[in-house]
Amino acid sequence: MYKLYGDADSGSFAPQAVLEELGADYELITVALDEKGTRTPEFLAINPLGQIPVLVLPDGTVMTESAAMVVYLADTAPQAGLLPAAGDTARATALRWLFLLAANVYEADLRYYYAERYAGGPACAAEVKTAAQAHMRRTLDLVEAALDPGPFLLGERYSVVDPYLCMLGAWYPQQDELAALPRILRHRDAVRARPAVASIWDKHHPS
């Protein structure tokens, strides 16, 4: 059995969506901050960085980094077709977008929502947030163009990149601005329509 450590509306959404898609046996363990705003010692023993998600494999191996998790999970069940096979150029395309999203949009989300961690002081936090959102938007503009014809990043083929993009799009600070990115909104609808995603969507986005 897999153990997925995460929380609602967090980076655990994408690997959980893949676990659901595969019908894998897993336990979801909620990891919240304690009263001091820190992780518990028990969780820090698993991941000293204190970050979620964490995926513990059936043999006890600990994985961090959500992008790595979704690739690993797809490779455990190639028959599900959630990632093209090694050597297939479609896999190169999928990995390109997955890691571009992780390195740019996910990282910019962190800078936006936790600007104080990246700023030299409170006065700088607003500038950090502004720059982070601008970087998010530039990257999403590239994704918008790549979703032609869509509806997924590999065209008609659904892959692990799609719940990852859906997760990040849901975090975009000004959701009304996404009206200018109609393919990303269409993509979100297509991903949410999948039963595996629909089964967990409201738990991550209770509003």
Strands (DSSP E) along the chain, which ranges? 2-6, 26-30, 54-56, 62-64
Cα(176)–Cα(181) distance, rounded to whole angstroms?
Answer: 10
pLDDT, one tens digit per residue, over 106-115 is 999 999 998 8
pTM of the model: 0.94
Q: Which residues of 147-167 are buried (b: 16+ CB within 10 A; e: fewer)?
A: beebbbbbeeebbbbbbbbbb
Structural domains of the chain sorted by starting position, each given as residue range(s) with its CATH number in brackets: 2-80 (3.40.30.10), 89-194 (1.20.1050.10)
Tens-digit pLDDT profile for residues 51-67: 999 999 999 999 999 99
Give the residue among 187, 205, 204, 200 at the shortest CA–CA distance from 17.
200
DSSP 51: -
pLDDT of residue 171: 95
Task: Tell me if the bond preceding 151 is cis, omega within 30° of 0.
Answer: yes
pLDDT in tens, 36-95: 557 888 899 999 999 999 999 999 999 999 999 999 999 999 999 999 999 999 999 999
